[in-house]
Structures are given as C-alpha cells and as structure tokens.
Amino acid sequence: MSTSLSPQHARERNPVGSHVPVAGGLAKVGIPYARDIGGEAVQVFVANPRGWATPAGVPQQDEAFREACEQEAVPAYVHAPYLINFGSHNAETVEKSVVSLRHSLLRGRAIGALGVVVHTGSATGGRPRAEALAQVRERVRPLLDELTHDDDPWLLLEPTAGQGASLCALAEDLGPYFDALDRHPKLGVCLDTCHAFAAGHDMAAPGGTKALLDELVDTVGEGRLKLIHANDSKDVVGAHKDRHENIGSGHIGAEPFGELFRHPATQGVPLVIETPGGKEGHAADVARLKDLRRPA
C-alpha cells in the first residue's frame, strides 16, 4: 500500500496549483482563490490575454501578492497574452509582441513571478520556418538580455498543439527554437500536457510519458523544464486541437499524470492546471493531482 508524502515533502517535490482569476486584484482575488482550491502554486495574467493593452500594476497589490506567495511558499507564474507571435509576417504584430512580452516580464519581476510563459507562435503568411526563427532570434534575444536582475523571471517557452504553421509543437521542435536564442541561461520550458498530446506525443501509451520527458531533456538539456501545465485532452492524440479536459476525464487519463511526478526531469517542478469547471472543477483537479503525487 502506498503511503502519503508529508505536506512538506510533497511541496518540495512538486507544488500543485492552478491558473487563478485576478479581476479585482492579484492579492484580493488570486490568493484567496488559490487557498480555496488547495493550490500550492499559481499562474496569473497581468494583462488582457486576448489584447495588446499593457496596464500598469498597483504597487500595493503587487507587494501584497508577492508577500503572500513568499509567506505561504507558493511559486507564482505569469502567462503572457495569447496574441504574441514572433514568427508573424505582420510587422505590427511583431512590434506589439515585443512590447507585450516586455510588459509581462517586467510585471513578473514586480510580483515575484519565477517565470513568464509565452506561446512559441507560428510562421504566418507562408514564410519559411527558418525565416520565422531568424525573426524570433532578432526580436526575442534582446528581451532575454534585459533579464539582468537577480529576481527576474525565466522566459518559459510553451509549445503549442501543432495547429497551422506552428514553430514549436513536438519536443524536437524546441531544439531549433533554443538554438535560435543561443540557449540563453534564462530560457526554459513550460510543458502543456494537452498540447504535447495533441501534437502527437502519446502520453496515454505505455511508456509514453517517460518517452516525452526523456526527449525533452535530450533536446533542451537538464534543468530547463520549469513549469507544467497539467491538462487532460478532450481530443485524441495527434488531433492538433487545444481543448483541455479535467484530469482523468480525457484521452490522456489519470495515470500518465502520476508518471509525470516520478520522472527525474520533473523534480521540484510545479504543476498548474488550466482545466474547465470553475472553482469546483479546479479544486477537484488539484486534489486528484495531489493524490497522484503520492509515491508508488
């Protein structure tokens, strides 16, 4: 019979949490929501995820949020807006992407975030992949060089589900992307399980989760995986559809999430859910992951 980890041991192993709402204030809304669902890690937006606005933070809320996370040992992450695409053929989109990502990185520093997650984008307009990656280098590399403070967040690349002309979906795609950015020391990975499954990594197959994580480490190196978006999938493997499902209720199933906890590459890496169901569904998913976190 398996035994439970002590709370401290479990937290040191893999904090489990959720993307949390912050409308009304980071500390006033986000932290209480995390507490209510039993979260040990949080992810937030610091701007409209579907817009280009770059709102200033409220210093008192920023400090209260940062202090609450420190006091409760809750690691925090920022998700940058979805519109960002450094592979775009549209010059205006690229310029706005620079401004938006810089804003997320600066706001991440202000609230004590450990990382800022950004989607890896796509090569639009029929342009060659190499040309798009050259543009990624030109526009993102300078942003990485701005991360000079000790408390600056990591930039975490999140591969997509492989829709359209995606620049990065499979684990192997991260190699050229990392190379384009000179494998910068502040560059890491946010692995979304639904995206990886949709892109073609069959985590539900025997050994599938281990194979994905082994390939990820072989591609980007040890210590680069900094965050996991733990989401089941409404669609079958290789469908290239980004539709999240609650843990254990989709085509990935529950056991592969248990395997995530047991792989050396995930040691200490937080898992954050982005699943349906609101607070009730989030609380259930966090509880499910905590149960799967127990040693075999």
Write out pLDDT tens, residues 55-72.
Answer: 999 999 999 999 999 999
CATH architecture assignment, domain 7-292: Alpha-Beta Barrel (3.20)
Q: What is the pLDDT of residues 75-113, one digit of tens each?
A: 999 999 999 999 999 999 999 999 999 999 999 999 999
Residue 185 has pLDDT above 60, yes or no: yes
pLDDT of residue 296: 56
pTM: 0.94
pLDDT of residue 294: 84
Q: Are 199 and 159 in contact (CB under 8 A)?
A: yes
Residue 189 has pLDDT above 80, yes or no: yes
pLDDT of residue 67: 96
| CA gap 240, 233 in Å, rounded | 11
What percent of the chain has a predicted confidence (pLDDT) above 90?
93
Average pLDDT, the chain: 94
What are the extents of the domains in the chain?
7-292
The band of 8, judged by pLDDT with boundaries at 50, 70 and 90, is very low
Mean pLDDT of 21-28: 91
Residue 11 has pLDDT above 70, yes or no: no
Q: What is the pLDDT of residues 195-242, one digit of tens each?
A: 999 999 999 999 999 999 999 999 999 999 999 999 999 999 999 999
